[in-house]
Structure 1
Amino acid sequence: MSTSEKTHIFITGVTGYIGGTVLSALLSHPSVKSFRIIVLTRSPEKVVPLNSLGVVAVVGSNQDLEKLTEYARKSDVVFACADSDDLQAAKAILLGLKKRHDETGKVPILIHTSGTGVLADNAAGDYATDKVYSDLDIPLIETLPKTQPHREVDIEVVAADEKGYVRTYIVLPSTIYGIANTSLVKLGIQNPYSKQIPNLIKASIDRKQGGVVGKGLNLWPNVHISDTASLYITIFDAAIRGPGEAGHGREGFYFGENGEHRVGRISEVIAELLFEVKLGKSAEPTVFTEDELQKYFGGPGLGSNSRARADRSKLIGWKPVHTVDSLWASLKPEIEAIAEIQNK
C-alpha cells in the first residue's frame, strides 16, 4: 500500500498516560498496516524509541501552534490527547483540519480528549449529588457553563463540526485508574500513572497520613486505563466507517465510565494500606486542611461530584471489562509503586 493510500493519523500527548495507551492500542489494531502514524513528543531523546515502534516521531508540543496546524493539515484523523484545556492548541489543530478540507474536499476526523471534570460541582466532599449526566442527554450537557473545566474547548470543538469541515468526537474519561503496561512504558518513554488517585496517594504519603476532602461523600465514575484506550478505538473504528456510524459534533460526547465510587472510600482504603506498611499514623483518614488542599491539589476539586453514564459509548459498541472491583484491587499496587518512587 502506497503512503498516499494509507490512513494518516496524528497524535498529540503520545508519551502521556492516555496518549501512550491509545497509541499502543492503535499499534495492535488489525488494520495497523494501513496506518501512517505521526506523533508529537517534547523530548528529542524519545524520537528514536518512538520510531522503533513503527511511527514517525517529531519534536514539538502544544505550544508549537504552527506544527500542530501543519501536521493536522496532513491528517485524516487527529487524536488530541495532550492538555484538554489548551484552547489555542485546539484552535491550531482545527485550523489544520480546515485547511485539509479546503485543499482536498475530504472531511477529516478529530477525536478530542476532555473529561468528566466538566460535570464537577462544589460539594467539597460534603454531599453526594442526585444529578447524573448521560452522554445521550445533549440538552443537559449543553446547560454546562463555559466556566466549567474543559468546557470552553469542548464548545470550540463542537462548533467546528457544525461548520462542516471536520467530524469531531469528544472522549470524556472519568477517574482513570490502573498502571499502564504498554510497549511505550517498557521502553521508558510513557508516563504509566494517572493523576487523581496517585496524587491522593502522594499527598497522603507526604503528610504521613491518609487524607480525605470534607466528609468524603462525593461521587465520581471510574474507568480502567485499558478500557479508556478501547473507547478511543471504538470511536475511531465507527468514525472511519462513516459519519452515520456514531454521533459527532453536538452529539459526539462519549463518557468513559464503568462504575462509580464514593471518593471518600478511596481515602479510607489508602489510609488503611498506608497504616499497614507504616507510612500512615492511623488507619482512619483525616480531613485535608484548606492549605493542604491548595498545596497538594491546587484547590478542593477532589471533593466535587461528577456523575456520568456512558450510554452513547456503549451504544456504539464499547465493551469495558473492568468494574469498580478492579478499582479497589488497583490501589495497593499503586501505593507500592508510588511509595517506591518517593523513597528514591
Structure 2
Amino acid sequence: MATIAKVNIFVSGATGYIGGAVLNKLLEHPKANDFNVTALVRSTEKAEKLKSVGVTPVIGSLDDTDLVHKLSSDSDVVISMANADHAPSVQAMLSGQKEHFQKTGKQPIFIHTSGTGVLSDNAEGLYHTETIWNDADPAQIATIAPTQPHRDVDLLIVDADKEGYVRTYIILPSTIYGLAQGRLVDIGVSNNRSIQIPAIIEASLDREQGGMVGQGKNLWPNVHIDEQADLYIILLDAALSKPDTDHGTNGYYFGESGEHSLYDVGKAVAEALVELGIGSPKPTAFTKAEIDKYFGGSAYLGSNSRARANHSRAIGWTPKKTTADMLASIRAEVEEVLKRAKKL
C-alpha cells in the first residue's frame, strides 16, 4: 500500500502570541501525524524546547532571507506569523514557494498574518466611523489605500497569487485578547499575551488612572486568542482539502467576533484599578505628553477599524466569544501586568 506523503509546513512567529497559539493547535490537530512542522526560531534554548514537542527548529531570523527562501522552497505550506510588515522575509518566502512550484508543479499554500490595522483611520478617539469593512467583499477591500499600514506587504502577496505559482490567504486579526495557554506557553516557548490592551493597562497603571485616546469613541473589532488560532486551522484545512477555497484577491479573512469602543476598554481598566485602590472608575484622556511617553507619540489606539468576518464565517469559523467576554478578561490582564512588574 502506498504511503501518503506528509505535508511539509514552515511557520514563522512560533514564539509569539499568535504563532504560539496556532502552532499549539497544529500539534493537537487530528491529522498532526501527517504534518512535518518546521519553525524558524532565534534562540537555541527555545529550539531545544520545540524539538521536545515534535517540531523541527531552525535557528535564524526573518532577516536571514536566503534561509527563509530555502525553508519555503522545501515546504508545501508556509504560515507567516512573525511580522506583518517585514517585506524582505515575505519576498523570500514567496520566491521560495515559486521555486517549490517550479520543482514540483504543485501550487504551495501561503497563509500570511496581516491585521485590521490596515483599515485604521486618524480619528484620535473623537468619533466612530460609519464605514464597516466586509472580508467577503473583495471589491471593497480593493479600495484600501496602498499607504495604509500592512497594505504594501498584503499587495505583494496578492500579486504573487495572480502569477499562479502559489495560493495566498491573508488573515487579518483585530484586537486579540485573552492570556494564551497550552503546551508551548507552559514550556516557555511562546508569549502568552497580546499588545494593545496590555499597553493601555501598563500606561494606566503608571499614571494611576484608566486612560483612553481622546474621548474613546472609536470602534475596533475584537477576537479571543483561541478563536483566532482556530481560524488559521480552519483555513489551512480548507486550503488543503479544497483548492478552490477563495484565495488571492478574494483571499482576505478577518478575525472578528465582536466590536468595542476604546472608552469601554478604558472603563474596564479603570474599574479593575479601582478594585486595587488606584484611581477612579471613569477613564480620562491621555495627554499629549502621555501619548508621547507611552505610545511613541502615536494616537493609533484612537483609530477606527470596523470589520465583519463574513468570509471567515463562510468557511466554517464559528467564534462564540463576545465583547462582554473581552471586557471581562481585562481584570486577569491587569493581574498579569502586575505579576510581570513584580518579577522585574
TM-score computed with the length of structure 2 as normaliser? 0.97
Q: 1:310 & 1:287 partners in 2: Cα distance? A: 30
Deviations 1:224-248 (A, max 9, x none): 000000000010000001321x210
- Three-state SS of the structure 1 residue aligned to 2:329 is helix
Deviations 1:246-282 (A, max 9, x none): 210000000000010111110011011112202x322
* Identical residues among aligned pairs (%): 50
Deviates more, 1:56-65 or 1:13-22: 56-65
The answer on 1:321 being equivalent to 2:311 is: no
- Three-state SS of the structure 1 residue aligned to 2:130 is coil
Partner of 2:215: 215
Deviates more, 1:232-241 or 1:269-278: 269-278
| Aligned CA distance change for structure 1 residues 2 and 93 (closer, same or farther; 3 Å) | farther
Partner of 1:194: 194
Cα-Cα RMSD: 1.3
Partner of 2:35: 35
- Three-state SS of the structure 1 residue aligned to 2:253 is strand
- Three-state SS of the structure 1 residue aligned to 2:40 is strand
Partner of 1:282: 280
The answer to whether the 8 A contact 1:218-1:262 is kept is yes
Code of the residue aligned with 1:257 in structure 2: it is E
Partner of 1:259: 258
The 5 A counterparts of 1:60-71 are 60-71=60-71
The 5 A counterparts of 1:140-289 are 140-244=140-244, 246-278=245-277, 280-289=278-287
CA deviation after TM superposition for structure 1 residue 302, in Å: 0.1
Q: 1:2 & 1:82 partners in 2: Cα distance? A: 37
Code of the residue aligned with 1:292 in structure 2: it is E
- Which residue, 277, 295, 298 being the options, matches 1:297? 295
Code of the residue aligned with 1:272 in structure 2: it is E
Q: 1:27 & 1:162 partners in 2: Cα distance? A: 32
Q: 1:39 & 1:258 partners in 2: Cα distance? A: 29
CA deviation after TM superposition for structure 1 residue 4, in Å: 8.3
Structure 1's unaligned 5+ residue stretches are none
The answer to whether the 8 A contact 1:79-1:111 is kept is yes
Partner of 2:311: 312
Q: 2:279 & 2:231 partners in 1: Cα distance? A: 40
User: Stretches of 4+ moved more than 3 A in 1?
Assistant: 1-4
Q: 1:97 & 1:242 partners in 2: Cα distance? A: 19
Q: 1:175 & 1:257 partners in 2: Cα distance? A: 8
Code of the residue aligned with 2:159 in structure 1: it is A
Code of the residue aligned with 2:214 in structure 1: it is G
How many residue pairs get aligned? The number is: 342
Deviations 1:109-146 (A, max 9, x none): 00000000000010000001100000011121111111
CA deviation after TM superposition for structure 1 residue 2, in Å: 9.8
The answer to whether the 8 A contact 1:268-1:285 is kept is yes
Structure 2's unaligned 5+ residue stretches are none
| Aligned CA distance change for structure 1 residues 241 and 304 (closer, same or farther; 3 Å) | same
Q: 1:281 & 1:29 partners in 2: Cα distance? A: 45
Q: 2:302 & 2:194 partners in 1: Cα distance? A: 18
CA deviation after TM superposition for structure 1 residue 3, in Å: 9.6
CA deviation after TM superposition for structure 1 residue 182, in Å: 1.5
Q: 2:167 & 2:330 partners in 1: Cα distance? A: 38
Deviations 1:159-192 (A, max 9, x none): 0000000000000011000000011000011100
Code of the residue aligned with 1:324 in structure 2: it is T
Deviations 1:266-316 (A, max 9, x none): 0011011112202x3222222111222132223000000000000000001
Q: 1:98 & 1:337 partners in 2: Cα distance? A: 43
Q: 2:190 & 2:123 partners in 1: Cα distance? A: 34
